[in-house]
A = this chain, B = another copy of it.
Amino acid sequence: MYLVNGKEYNCSVAIVQDIFNDKWKLGIIWHLLAGEKRYKELFEEVKEITQKTLTVKLRELEEKQLIAREVFPEIPPKVVYSLTPIGERLRPLLKEMYDWGIDYVQACGEFSTEEGCALTCKDENLGKNE
C-alpha cells in the first residue's frame, strides 16, 4: 500500500496509470527527454495542444515533481522546463513504450514508414546516459 500525493494505491502500477491517464503528459515528458525546453518550444513541439492545456499539464507535472520550472526575470519573460531526477527516470519506461509500439505496428499495423518521429526524441536521446 502506497500513499502518494494524498492518494492511496494498492499497486505501484496504479500510480503510473493515475499520473499518465490523460492525453498530454506522456508527450510532454517525451519532448523533455530531449533536453530542457521553453514554454514556447513545448507549445510548438507538442502537436495540437492548446496553451491552456499545456499550462495545466505543466502545472500538474510540476506538482507531481516530474518536472522543474525555472523562471528568468527578463523581459520578455523566459521560463524553462526540465525533468527532475525521478522524471528523467521515466526514460526506460518511454523506451519500452517506443519499442512495444514498433512491435505492435508489425503485428497489427496496416502501414508504416521510417519518416522520423514527430515527437523529435530520437533513439540516441532515448538511450542517453548522463
Contact = CB atoms under 8 A, between A and B. Distances in A.
Contacts of A109: 2-4
A27 B11 CA distance: 10
A12 B110 contact: no
A47 B17 CA distance: 14
A105 B117 CA distance: 32
A88 to B, nearest CB: 11
Contacts of A129: none
Total copies of this chain within the assembly: 2
Interface residues of A, number: 53
Given A1-B112, A90-B100, A97-B93, A118 B30 contact: no
A93 to B, nearest CB: 5
Interface of A: 1-6, 9-17, 21-23, 26-27, 30, 47, 64-65, 85-86, 89-90, 92-94, 96-105, 107-113, 115, 117-119, 121
A67 to B, nearest CB: 13
Contacts of A89: 100, 103-104
